[in-house]
């Protein structure tokens, strides 16, 4: 039986999006064309691949069995095309999921370096939380992701440490804790108002847990999906916020925020990890972007997250597949 790879591309896209409308938009096709592709593939295979429901198009059992095989076929085709053009310049579009804080502070320099080294490589940055990034890697919507977590390894996702980010607790200069001569004890924070990043942000969750463990703790916690919103509330004198140091550096320099020293052990730095799909093949452009991320983030951060220097991504090993919430 001969199967057109265009039908497999449509099939995998519909499997990822769960919607004929979304799949058509992703593929820049008419919805009727997507419908024809899927019907043709189902007729050729002799089984229904999707359930047509008012709420979407979930895979049938047969469709779930086919998905991994279809992705392998498409990866093989991509490798063949890449091999045919190996002598030419590295080119293509790479989609990277990343916390908002890294997107705004660390990644512009990486993109600038890539533009010089590989002018035909385009990088799309998608601000996303950890769960969004992991789902994006699994579905193929993302080629790479940066995670601010201690670990996010799974049978499908491989990660490697590339840097660490320092955290800073800040408040407006007029806040009672900002003008003290001595560090604030955790008990001093028990009744304060905090503006933290949304649930799923590993360091915000850990900070809240530590806050609530203090004797007599009754803090007011407001969660945001935006670094700027949390920072602005703190600068307006409404409470405190915990953010990566790079995102508050300018506000500290110009006096809009003050650092709040804490009594006891300092806040732990947050690891930054590069994540990829274990089994999905990485195009040359994705491999070059991964190398640039490892190289530049290790130089820009507070140091690598381990004693070993992060290894360069490979295309032929488990971690070399190329495609991790903290919107931070």
pLDDT tens for each residue of 172-199 = 999 999 978 889 988 889 889 999 998 8
Q: Are 25 and 64 in the same domain?
A: yes
Give the domain-ending residue among 52, 84, 116: 84
pLDDT above 70 coverage of the chain, percent? 86
Estimate to the nearest angstrom the gap between the alpha carbon of 278 and the chain centroid. Answer: 16
Q: How many CA atoms lie within 13 A of 310 on its CB side?
A: 28
> Which residues constitute the domain of residue 209?
167-259
Q: Is 264 within the bounds of a domain? A: no
CATH number at residue 126: 3.40.190.10
**Is residue 292 scored above 50 in pLDDT?**
yes
Range from 151-155, 195-199, 240-244, 249-253 carrying the lowest mean pLDDT: 151-155
Q: Are 184 and 213 in the same domain?
A: yes
Q: Are 234 and 246 in the same domain?
A: yes
All residues at 6 or more sequence positions from 166 whose CB lies less than 8 Å from its CB, including other chains: 244, 245, 267, 269, 270, 302
Q: Are 287 and 251 in the same domain?
A: no
Q: Are 203 and 138 in the same domain?
A: no
Q: Are 195 and 66 in the same domain?
A: no
Q: Is 32 within the bounds of a domain? A: yes
Q: Are 225 and 189 in the same domain?
A: yes
Q: Are 33 and 147 in the same domain?
A: no
Q: Are 46 and 79 in the same domain?
A: yes
Q: Is 125 within the bounds of a domain? A: yes
Name residue, tokens 């590339």.
Answer: 162
What string of H, E and C letters represents the secondary structure of 185-234? CHHHHCCCEEEEECCCCHHHHHHHHHHHCCCCCCCEEEEECCHHHHHHHH
> Is this model's pTM higher than 0.75 or not?
no
Q: Are 64 and 30 in the same domain?
A: yes
Q: Is 145 within the bounds of a domain? A: yes
Q: Are 251 and 282 in the same domain?
A: no
Give the domain-ending residue among 32, 65, 84: 84
Q: Are 73 and 101 in the same domain?
A: no
Number of domains into which the chain is organized: 3
Range from 61-65, 83-87, 248-252, 317-321 carrying the lowest mean pLDDT: 317-321
Query: Mind listing the pLDDT tens digit for each residue in 69-115?
Result: 888 887 777 677 666 555 556 778 899 999 888 988 899 989 998 88
CA dist 130 → 68, 100, 146 (Å): 23, 11, 8
Give the domain-ending residue among 206, 229, 259: 259
């Amino acid at each position: 039986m001969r199967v057109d790879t265009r039908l497999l591309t449509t099939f995998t896209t519909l499997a990822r999006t769960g919607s004929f409308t979304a799949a058509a938009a992703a593929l820049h096709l008419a919805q009727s064309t997507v419908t024809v592709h899927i019907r043709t593939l189902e007729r050729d295979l002799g089984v229904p691949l999707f359930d047509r429901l008012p709420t979407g198009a979930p895979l049938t059992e047969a469709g779930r069995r086919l998905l991994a095989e279809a992705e392998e076929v498409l990866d093989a085709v991509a490798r063949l095309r890449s091999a045919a053009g190996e002598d030419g310049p590295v080119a293509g579009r790479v989609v990277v999921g990343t916390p908002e804080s890294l997107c705004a502070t660390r990644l512009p320099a990486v993109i600038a370096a890539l533009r010089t080294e590989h002018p035909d490589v385009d990088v799309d940055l998608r601000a996303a939380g950890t769960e969004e990034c992991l789902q994006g890697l699994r579905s193929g919507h993302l080629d790479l992701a940066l995670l601010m977590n201690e670990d996010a390894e799974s049978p499908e996702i491989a990660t490697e440490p590339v840097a660490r980010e320092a955290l800073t607790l800040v408040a407006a200069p007029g806040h009672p804790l900002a003008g003290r001569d001595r560090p604030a004890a955790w008990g001093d924070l028990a009744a304060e108002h905090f503006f933290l990043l949304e649930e799923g942000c590993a360091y915000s969750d850990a900070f809240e847990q530590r806050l609530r463990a203090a004797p007599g703790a009754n803090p007011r916690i407001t969660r945001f999906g935006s670094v700027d919103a949390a920072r602005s509330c703190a600068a307006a004198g409404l409470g405190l916020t915990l953010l990566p140091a790079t995102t508050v550096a300018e506000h500290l320099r110009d006096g809009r925020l003050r650092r709040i020293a804490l009594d006891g052990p300092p806040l732990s730095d947050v690891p930054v990890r590069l994540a990829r799909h274990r089994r999905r093949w990485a195009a040359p452009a994705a491999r070059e972007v991964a190398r640039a991320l490892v190289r530049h983030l290790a130089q820009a951060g507070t140091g690598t997250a381990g004693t070993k220097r992060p290894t360069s991504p490979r295309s032929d090993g488990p971690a070399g597949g190329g495609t991790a919430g903290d919107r931070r």
